[in-house]
Structure 1
Amino acid sequence: MSLRNTASNPPSEKFWEMDFEAVLKHYTSSRAGLSKAEAERRLSVYGPNALPPAASRPAILRFLAQFNNVLIYVLLTSALITGLGAHYLDTAVILGVVFLNALIGFIQEGKAERALASMNALLEARCTALRGGEKVDLAVEQLVPGDIVLLQAGDKIPADLRLLESVRFAVDESMLTGESIPVEKKVAAIQTADILAERINMGYSGTLVTRGTATGIVTATGPQTELGNISRLLDTTESIKTPLLQVIDRFGGSLSLVLFLVAAGTFAVGTLVRGLALDTMFLAAVGLFVAAIPEGLPAIITITLALGVRKMAQKNAVVRKLPAVESLGAVTVICTDKTGTLTQNAMTVTMAETRQSAYTFAGSGYDPHGIISPAATDELRTLLELGVLCNDAGLLPPTEGLGAKGWHIVGDPTEAALLVAAQKAGIEQKALLAQLPRTDALPFSSETKVMVTLHHDHQGACFIVIKGATEEILKRCSTLPEETTEAHWLERSAQRAEQGERTLGFAIKHLPKAQEILQERDAEHGFSFVGFVSISDPPRESAKRAVAQCRSAGIVVKMITGDHALTAEAIAQQVGIEFLGPAVTGEMLEGASEKELLRLVRSTNVFARVNPEHKLRLVEALQKDGELVAMTGDGVNDAPALRRADIGISMGKNGTEVAREASRMVLLDDAFETIVSAVSTGRTVYDNIMKSLVFILPTSFAEALLIVLAIALGFPLPITPLQILWVNLVTEVSLSLALAMEEGEADIMQRKPRAKNAGLFGAQETLRTTLITVIFITLSLISFVVTQNMQGSSLILSQTVMVNMVVLLEIVCLLSTRSLSETFIQKNPLVGNRPILLSISIVFVLQLLFTYLPVMQDLFGTTHIGVSEWILLLALSLLGFLLMELEKPLRRYLLRRK
Structure 2
Amino acid sequence: MKDKHYIFRTTKIDNPITKMTIDNFDIKGLTSEQVLKAREEHGYNLLDYKKQNGFWFALKSLVQEPMIILLSVAASIYFISGSGGDGLFLTFAIVFEAAISLYQDSRSRNALEKLKEFTEPNCKVIRNGEQIEIKSEDLVVGDYLIIEEGTSVPADGIIIHSNDFSVNESILTGESLAVTKDSTADNNLIFKGTNVASGLAIATINYIGNNTKLGKIGKSLEDIKEEKTPLELQINNFVKKMVSIGTVVFLIVWLINYLNSKDVLDSLLKALTLAMSIMPEEIPVAFTTFMALGAWRLMKMGIVVKQMKTVETLGSATVICTDKTGTITENKMTLAKLFVLSSQKVTDLSEELSKEEKDLIKQAMWASEPIPFDPMEIALHQAYSKLEENDERPNFKLVHEYPLGGKPPMMTHVFENQEGKRIIAAKGAVEAIMRASNVSSQEKEEIGNAINLLSQDGYRVLAVATAEFIGNDYPANQEDFGFVLKGIVAFYDPPKKNIQKVLEEFYKAGITVKIVTGDNAATTVAIAKQIGFRGYEKSITGDELMQLSDEELAKSVIETQIFSRMYPEAKLKIINALKAQNEVVAMTGDGVNDGPALKAAHIGIAMGKKGTEIAKEAASLILLEDDLSKMVDAVAMGRRIYTNLKKAIQYIISIHIPIILTVFIPLALGWLYPNIFSPVHIIFLELIMGPTCSIIYENEPLEQNLMKQKPRPMSTSFFSWKELTTSIIQGLFISAGTIFTYQYALYLGYDEAITRTMIFTVLITANIFLTLVNRSFYYSIITTLQYKNNLVFIIISITVAMMCALLFVPLFNTLFDFEVLNLNQITTSIVIGFISVIWYEVVKWIKRRRALIA
Q: Decide: shared fold, TM above 0.5.
A: yes
CA deviation after TM superposition for structure 1 residue 595, in Å? 11
Match of 1:250 in 2: 237
Supply the distance in 1 between the matched residues of 2:118 and 2:393 (Cα, whole angstroms). Answer: 48
Identity %: 22
Alignment-mate amino acid for residue 752 of structure 2: L
The 1:568–1:54 alpha-carbon spacing in structure 2 relative to 1, beyond 3 Å, is farther
Match of 1:141 in 2: 156
Residue correspondences, number: 710
Contact kept? 2:586, 2:603, Cα under 8 Å: yes
> Over residues 857-894 of structure 1, what are the superposed CA-to-partner deviations in whole Å (9 max), with x where a residue is unaligned?
34433332221211212322442354131233467899
The 1:554–1:543 alpha-carbon spacing in structure 2 relative to 1, beyond 3 Å, is same
Alignment of 1:139-288 (within 5 A): 141=156, 151=161, 157=165, 203=180, 218=187, 222=191, 227=196, 239-267=226-254, 278-288=264-274
How high is the TM-score relative to the length of structure 1?
A: 0.63
Match of 1:109 in 2: 112
The 1:225–1:545 alpha-carbon spacing in structure 2 relative to 1, beyond 3 Å, is same
The 1:124–1:748 alpha-carbon spacing in structure 2 relative to 1, beyond 3 Å, is farther
Match of 2:703 in 1: 745
2:314 to 322, 325, 328: 328
> Over residues 577-607 of structure 1, what are the superposed CA-to-partner deviations in whole Å (9 max), with x where a residue is unaligned?
8688735569959xx9999998997797759
Supply the distance in 1 between the matched residues of 2:167 and 2:443 (Cα, whole angstroms). Answer: 49
CA deviation after TM superposition for structure 1 residue 656, in Å? 3.8
Supply the distance in 1 between the matched residues of 2:500 and 2:683 (Cα, whole angstroms). Answer: 52
1:314 and 2:272 are equivalent in the alignment: no
2:666 to 707, 710, 734: 710
Match of 1:794 in 2: 751
The 1:756–1:438 alpha-carbon spacing in structure 2 relative to 1, beyond 3 Å, is closer
The 1:709–1:763 alpha-carbon spacing in structure 2 relative to 1, beyond 3 Å, is same
Supply the distance in 2 between the matched residues of 1:346 and 1:56 (Cα, whole angstroms). Answer: 42
Supply the distance in 2 between the matched residues of 1:451 and 1:494 (Cα, whole angstroms). Answer: 31
The 1:593–1:870 alpha-carbon spacing in structure 2 relative to 1, beyond 3 Å, is same
Alignment-mate amino acid for residue 671 of structure 1: D
Match of 1:720 in 2: 678
Contact kept? 1:330, 1:755, Cα under 8 Å: yes
Supply the distance in 2 between the matched residues of 1:439 and 1:838 (Cα, whole angstroms). Answer: 70
Match of 2:379 in 1: 417
The 1:260–1:115 alpha-carbon spacing in structure 2 relative to 1, beyond 3 Å, is same
1:805 and 2:762 are equivalent in the alignment: yes
> Over residues 231-269 of structure 1, what are the superposed CA-to-partner deviations in whole Å (9 max), with x where a residue is unaligned?
999999985433432331232133223333444454455
2:741 to 780, 783, 790: 783
1:501 and 2:450 are equivalent in the alignment: no
SS at match of 2:706: coil
Supply the distance in 2 between the matched residues of 1:438 and 1:292 (Cα, whole angstroms). Answer: 78
Match of 1:60 in 2: 53
> Over residues 754-796 of structure 1, what are the superposed CA-to-partner deviations in whole Å (9 max), with x where a residue is unaligned?
23232223354223212211221111222233334445x3322
CA deviation after TM superposition for structure 1 residue 311, in Å? 3.5
Match of 1:853 in 2: 809
Supply the distance in 2 between the matched residues of 1:504 and 1:105 (Cα, whole angstroms). Answer: 53
The 1:631–1:278 alpha-carbon spacing in structure 2 relative to 1, beyond 3 Å, is farther
Match of 1:822 in 2: 779
Contact kept? 1:467, 1:506, Cα under 8 Å: yes
Supply the distance in 1 between the matched residues of 2:525 and 2:46 (Cα, whole angstroms). Answer: 39
The 1:251–1:335 alpha-carbon spacing in structure 2 relative to 1, beyond 3 Å, is farther
Alignment of 1:612-691 (within 5 A): 626=582, 628-635=584-591, 646-657=602-613, 659-660=615-616, 663-691=619-647
| Structure 2 alignment gaps of length 5 or more | 1-44, 79-86, 124-135, 146-153, 170-175, 199-213, 403-409, 417-422, 467-481
Supply the distance in 2 between the matched residues of 1:556 and 1:53 (Cα, whole angstroms). Answer: 42
| Structure 1 alignment gaps of length 5 or more | 1-51, 130-138, 144-148, 162-194, 206-213, 361-371, 396-407, 423-427, 454-463, 479-483, 508-522
The 1:585–1:607 alpha-carbon spacing in structure 2 relative to 1, beyond 3 Å, is farther
Contact kept? 1:356, 1:379, Cα under 8 Å: no
The 1:226–1:586 alpha-carbon spacing in structure 2 relative to 1, beyond 3 Å, is farther
Supply the distance in 2 between the matched residues of 1:542 and 1:268 (Cα, whole angstroms). Answer: 68
CA deviation after TM superposition for structure 1 residue 112, in Å? 1.8
Alignment-mate amino acid for residue 824 of structure 1: I
Alignment-mate amino acid for residue 781 of structure 2: F
SS at match of 1:535: strand
SS at match of 1:151: strand
The 1:789–1:855 alpha-carbon spacing in structure 2 relative to 1, beyond 3 Å, is same
Match of 1:42 in 2: none
Contact kept? 2:363, 2:465, Cα under 8 Å: no
How high is the TM-score relative to the length of structure 2?
A: 0.66
The 1:493–1:451 alpha-carbon spacing in structure 2 relative to 1, beyond 3 Å, is farther
Contact kept? 1:295, 1:729, Cα under 8 Å: no
Contact kept? 1:619, 1:644, Cα under 8 Å: yes
Supply the distance in 2 between the matched residues of 1:626 and 1:765 (Cα, whole angstroms). Answer: 23
SS at match of 1:666: strand
1:880 and 2:836 are equivalent in the alignment: yes
SS at match of 1:865: coil
Match of 1:29 in 2: none
The 1:707–1:128 alpha-carbon spacing in structure 2 relative to 1, beyond 3 Å, is closer
CA deviation after TM superposition for structure 1 residue 835, in Å? 3.4
Contact kept? 2:452, 2:522, Cα under 8 Å: no
2:276 to 272, 283, 290: 290
> Over residues 514-566 of structure 1, what are the superposed CA-to-partner deviations in whole Å (9 max), with x where a residue is unaligned?
xxxxxxxxx999x9x9x8542366665555654554344344556677x4786
The 1:278–1:891 alpha-carbon spacing in structure 2 relative to 1, beyond 3 Å, is farther
Contact kept? 1:292, 1:700, Cα under 8 Å: yes
> Over residues 671-696 of structure 1, what are the superposed CA-to-partner deviations in whole Å (9 max), with x where a residue is unaligned?
22211211101111111111222223
CA deviation after TM superposition for structure 1 residue 725, in Å? 1.5
1:100 to 98, 103, 123: 103
The 1:297–1:653 alpha-carbon spacing in structure 2 relative to 1, beyond 3 Å, is same
Alignment-mate amino acid for residue 151 of structure 1: H
Contact kept? 1:700, 1:728, Cα under 8 Å: no
SS at match of 1:502: strand
> Over residues 700-735 of structure 1, what are the superposed CA-to-partner deviations in whole Å (9 max), with x where a residue is unaligned?
121011112111221322322221221221366247
The 1:383–1:543 alpha-carbon spacing in structure 2 relative to 1, beyond 3 Å, is farther
Alignment-mate amino acid for residue 241 of structure 2: S
CA deviation after TM superposition for structure 1 residue 491, in Å? 1.6
Alignment-mate amino acid for residue 784 of structure 1: Y
The 1:392–1:321 alpha-carbon spacing in structure 2 relative to 1, beyond 3 Å, is closer
Aligned residues: CA RMSD: 5.9
The 1:548–1:857 alpha-carbon spacing in structure 2 relative to 1, beyond 3 Å, is same
Supply the distance in 1 between the matched residues of 2:539 and 2:60 (Cα, whole angstroms). Answer: 47
